[in-house]
Chain A
Amino acid sequence: MSTSMAPAPPIDEPNPENTPQGATAANLDVAGASRSERVMGLLAQIPLLIWAIMVIFPFLWMIMTSLKTNQEILFSPWSFPDVLQWENFSNAWNEARIGRYVLNSVIVISMSLTGTLLVSAMAAYVISRFQFPGNRFIFYLFMAGLMFPVFLGLVPLYFLMDDLGIKDTYHGLALVYIAYSLPFTIFFLVGFFKTLPGEVAEASTVDGAGPYRTFFQIMLPMAKPGLIAMGIFNFLGHWNQYLLPLVLMQNDDMRMLSQGLGMLAIQQGYQNDYGALFAAMTITMVPTLIVYVIFQRRLESGLTAGALKG
């Protein structure tokens, strides 16, 4: 089955031809109005440009600062570094233990991401395509999870993990990440599976393929666009997760990247090496930046899909 058979994800991609209604409306206007339209377009640039600078500038400043000496950071915050201090990055990686935290995050996320997609896809598949008693109930049970504040479950979760002996373990945290990611991922994939044509699955059943083979060899490949969207969405969610590891990974060797970075900031113990601190922030940001730049369109629609349907 080629992926080209897969339908578009159930996302309201804005139709580019339909984009500026104002513009279409303006075409109806008399010719004289189009000049004031242009002036308005120019005026609109001002607030947009200011906001764009407000967003970009702090990040550029962060990257620039990560290459400066302490002296330069403290006494000339605006200027470029005289000599690029690449050792800030090695200090962050080794002494501030960012390297260890990156490794921890990669291990946990490789487990949690695979688990989230597989477990959610299986559940979403049967919820969306099979009739059985309790079907609606199970769906709404998962949806209820979207409403609960994370804080409520924190205390019992901490003790539960302790009792199960999986506090401060990679697989323990991965299981919790999966569990917390299920509501939104199932919600999204149920919508997705509903849009897939049913005939293909039926045909394969008639051909004698078992239900498992139908799922893994036919339905999953067809659901690839939806799985990719949720893969990116959950990658960012797990990569940036702060609260859960803060509570569940208290052993210094086991810290996740965002958490380890936050600890550096809170403990103030690292205040004497600002360069390394900014380098650590830059290292943490880079993977997100790459994922964002590559998948920007898909990600935007994945992140906003819930809100638009909600």
Chain B
Amino acid sequence: MNHHKYRLVIPFLLPALILYGVFVLFPYGRAIYISLTSWRGVSANMPFVGMDNYTRLLNETRFMEALSRNGQLLIVLPIVTIGIALTFAALFTQGGAGIRGSGFYRVVFFFPQVISAVIVGMLFTYVYNPTYGLLNAFLDLIGLDSLTRAWLGNASTVLWAIAAVAIWSSVGFYMVIFMASMQSIPTSFYEAAVLDGATRWRQFRDITLPLMWETIRTALIYIAIAALDFFTLVQVMTGGGSSASARKAEVAAIYMYNEAFGQSRWGSASAVGVILLILTLLLSVIVMRATRRETYEF
């Protein structure tokens, strides 16, 4: 019977292992090696330079500024996204005698998540356009014309204008996750709390939040990874170029893309990739530790 088993196991596993090994694992491993060289891609020889790329990057203002923007996103994106998504999820599952049209809202809110980030980015480039964009026109309409500006052309607003789009498109996704998590909490917990005279806010704080903590942690890690990998929206909305305002939205991945495919500094670009990997792993560990609480079985 045993040889029978391996006649199936091996050919069934091989295609997946080969594809994954060749196109995913091998490039990752090789990137770590390339990051230790000063390879420019023209010749086959890769001068080994040790940690040079890393020390140069960490001392370069432009890269550190890019990385600090990821840091800012790392703080703002999770707080705002989770805040809005939790509020909406609570309105649906906790609010009063059921919310009218909750099915409709759910379908609508989730929709931006399935649309290509390229379309979303292009669409909002036009929403933000200073002369014919919707946002300025809307501000004019409600008498806030003092606020109108070139949202993407202005060094102080460009990054946050883009971050707002990221939040806009992912709130629905996290809302749906949170709703599923809230709905798995047994109704009897709330019935008991109501009998004890607990207010709605206390029910939310003392029952809902602790019981869905695991889901919130997962969401935190997802958003943290997204904040580190932030790329497509910036690339589409600023062109990823080097105009003054585009520079103010340059994040680590954009920096890396330009190093690689603009400057052919493959070693340095790979080092940025390795730094992002290390930060991703580090961040996951930190989030897991910092948010560790007693988990409740129910």
Q: Which A residues form the contact surface with B (CB < 8 A)? A: 12, 14-15, 18-26, 28-29, 34, 37-41, 44-45, 47-48, 51-52, 54-59, 61-62, 65, 73-75, 77-78, 119-120, 122-123, 125-127, 130, 132, 138, 141-142, 145, 147-160, 175-176, 178-180, 182-183, 186, 211-212, 215, 236, 239-240, 242-243, 247, 258-259, 261-262, 265-266, 268, 277-278, 281, 284-285, 288, 291-292, 296, 299-300, 303-304, 307-308, 310
Contacts and interface: CB of A to CB of B under 8 A. Distances in A.
12 contacts: A19-B183, A23-B96, A40-B96, A157-B27, A212-B8, A215-B12, A259-B118, A261-B118, A288-B115, A307-B218, A310-B218, A310-B221
B187 A24 contact: yes
How big is chain B's contact interface, by range? 35 or more
B31 interface: yes
A25 B191 contact: yes
A180 B115 contact: no
Nearest to A214: B8
Contacts of A18: 183, 187
Given A44-B95, A58-B124, 12 more contacts: A20-B93, A58-B123, A77-B132, A122-B16, A148-B28, A149-B276, A151-B276, A152-B274, A180-B23, A215-B12, A243-B231, A243-B232
Contacts of A29: 194
Nearest 8 CB-CB pairings of A with B: A41-B96, A179-B23, A153-B27, A152-B273, A123-B16, A240-B116, A156-B27, A211-B8
Interface string B179-210: 11111110100110111000010010000000
B177 A304 contact: yes
Contacts of A57: 134
B93 A19 contact: yes
Contacts, number: 322
A20 B109 contact: no
B95 A40 contact: yes
A158 to B, nearest CB: 8
A156 B13 contact: no
B137 A77 contact: yes
Interface of B: 4-9, 12-13, 15-17, 19-20, 22-28, 30-31, 34, 41, 87-88, 91-101, 104-119, 121-127, 131-134, 137, 168, 171-173, 176-177, 179-185, 187, 190-191, 193-195, 200, 203, 215, 218-219, 221-222, 225, 228-229, 231-232, 235-236, 239-240, 253, 256-257, 260-261, 266, 269-270, 272-274, 276-277, 280-281, 284
Contact of A153 (B31, B168, B284): B31
B187 A21 contact: yes
A45 B99 contact: yes
A262 B19 contact: no
A40 B276 CA distance: 45
Contacts of B127: 58, 61
B96 A26 contact: yes
A138 B13 contact: yes
B93 to A, nearest CB: 6
A281 B125 CA distance: 12
Given A22-B94, A175-B23, A262-B235, A155 B118 contact: no
A80 to B, nearest CB: 15
A300 to B, nearest CB: 6
Nearest to B174: A307
A210 to B, nearest CB: 9
